[in-house]
C-alpha cells in the first residue's frame, strides 16, 4: 500500500466518524414533558353559533353553555346544560370526557374515553330543549 492510498483511507475513516458524531448531536433528546400531552380539567368547544361555546368538565362530563356578546343589550352568561356528573368522584380523571360536533349545530356527541360510553348532547337557548342522554347499544 502506498502512502497516498493510506492517506485516502485515513481521511475516509475520519470523515465517516465525524459524520456519525454530528448526526448523534443533531438528534433531539426526548423529554418526559414532550411525550405527555397537557390535560386540563376544563375545555371550551366552539359551536356553529357565533356567540356560544360549550365548557366541558373533562373529569366528569358536566357541561355549561357559555354565551358572550359585543352588544350591551345581548345575553352574556352561562347556562348549565348538565349539572349531574356522569361518573363518581373516585372515577374522575382529567381528560376523561371530550365532545365531538355533528352536522346539526345544536348537537354534539360526548365520549367517555375510559368506558367508551357515548351521550347525545343538545344545547339550546330554551332550557326545555337542552339535554344530555346516553346513546344505548
**Section 21-38 average pLDDT:** 51
Give Cα separations from 50 to 14, 45, 58, 69 (angstroms). 63, 12, 23, 9
Q: Are 56 and 98 spatial neighbours (Cβ–Cβ below 8 Å)?
A: yes
Residue 128's pLDDT is: 94
Q: Are 130 and 120 spatial neighbours (Cβ–Cβ below 8 Å)?
A: no
Strands 42-46 and 52-57: antiparallel
Domain boundaries, the chain: 40-134
pLDDT digit string (tens) for 85-134? 999 999 999 999 999 999 999 999 999 999 999 999 999 999 999 999 99
pTM (global) more than 0.85: no
Can you count the helices (H) and strands (E) in the chain? 2, 8
The values of phi and psi at residue 28, to 5°, are -70, 145
Q: What is the DSSP letter of 95?
A: T
Residue 7's pLDDT is: 72
Q: How far apart are CA 100 and CA 110, in angstroms?
A: 6
pLDDT digit string (tens) for 101-115? 999 999 999 999 999
Amino acid at each position: 500500500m502506498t502512502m497516498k492510498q493510506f492517506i485516502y483511507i485515513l481521511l475516509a475513516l475520519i470523515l465517516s466518524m465525524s459524520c456519525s458524531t454530528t448526526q448523534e448531536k443533531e438528534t433531539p433528546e426526548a423529554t418526559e414533558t414532550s411525550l405527555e400531552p397537557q390535560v386540563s380539567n376544563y375545555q371550551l368547544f366552539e359551536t356553529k353559533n357565533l356567540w356560544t361555546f360549550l365548557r366541558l368538565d373533562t373529569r366528569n362530563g358536566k357541561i355549561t353553555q357559555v354565551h358572550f356578546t359585543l352588544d350591551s343589550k345581548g345575553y352574556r352568561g352561562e347556562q348549565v346544560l348538565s349539572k349531574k356528573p356522569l361518573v363518581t368522584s373516585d372515577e374522575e380523571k382529567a381528560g376523561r370526557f371530550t365532545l365531538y360536533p355533528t352536522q346539526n349545530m345544536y348537537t354534539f356527541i360526548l365520549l367517555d374515553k375510559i368506558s367508551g360510553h357515548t351521550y347525545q348532547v343538545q344545547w339550546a337557548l330554551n332550557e326545555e330543549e337542552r339535554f344530555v342522554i346516553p346513546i344505548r347499544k
